[in-house]
């Protein structure tokens, strides 16, 4: 279970990333944030975001129309 869950369903680029960045601040280092989104562009974007920021994209999956990302906070 993630430390925190962020629901950005219905929001479009770049809001899912901006909201996730904000939410990650409240996650302890090593803790996890689950992001729920409906923006198909978020799939590539969260991969790029995590690679660039040193956070770990532990899991990315699709459940119906919802994309779910599990991000482990790096530093």
- Strand 66-72 and strand 56-63: the pairing is antiparallel
| Contact status: 13 vs another protein (CB under 8 A) | yes
Q: How many CB atoms lie within 10 A of CB 14?
A: 14
Is 50 designated active site?
A: no
Which of 1, 44 has the CB closer to another protein?
A: 44
Beta strands in 12-65 (DSSP E): 32-37, 56-63
* 68: contact with another protein by CB under 8 A: no
**What are the residue numbers of the active site?**
13
Applying CB under 8 A, the residues found at the interface with another protein are: 10-15, 17-18, 20-21, 39, 48-49, 52-53
């Amino acid at each position: 279970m993630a430390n925190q869950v962020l629901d950005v369903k219905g929001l479009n680029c770049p809001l899912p990333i901006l909201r996730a960045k904000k939410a990650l601040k409240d996650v302890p280092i090593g803790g996890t944030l689950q992001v729920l989104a409906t923006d198909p562009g978020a799939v590539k974007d969260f991969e790029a975001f995590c690679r660039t920021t040193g956070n770990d994209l532990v899991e990315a999956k699709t459940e119906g129309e919802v994309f779910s990302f599990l991000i482990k906070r790096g530093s």
